[in-house]
Amino acid sequence: METQDDQPAFDLRWLDVLVCPITRSRLRVEGEYLVAEERDIKYPIRDGIPILLPEAAIEGGSRSDDSPVTETGIDD
């Protein structure tokens, strides 16, 4: 399974077992990100692999307004 850019695509079957490591909520795919159903926390998908590390998480907003997230909230 390849994307338009010849990068491996994320296998959607993983959505049945993966959860947000911060909120423990289900995830959905939005473009190049997995997004938690709670708090709109985004995790990048790189080369078909989701980066589900709290330090890689971005909280909502537009891409230019994205802020890193910690397990207790947004970093200042």
pLDDT given at position 15: 95
pLDDT of residue 69: 66
CATH of domain 12-74: 2.20.25
Block mean pLDDT (10 aa), the chain, length 76:
64 95 95 93 95 93 53 50
Q: Give residue 8's pLDDT.
A: 74
pLDDT at 9: 86
Question: What backbone phi and psi angles, to 5 degrees, belong to 25?
Answer: -90, 165
Burial code of 1-18, b = ≥16 C-beta within 10 A, e = fewer? Answer: eeeeeeeeebeeeeeeee
pTM check: above 0.75: no
The domains of the chain are located at 12-74
pLDDT at res. 76: 42
Give the dihedral sign, CA 54/61/50/7: negative
Q: Write out the two tokens for 57.
A: 């998480």
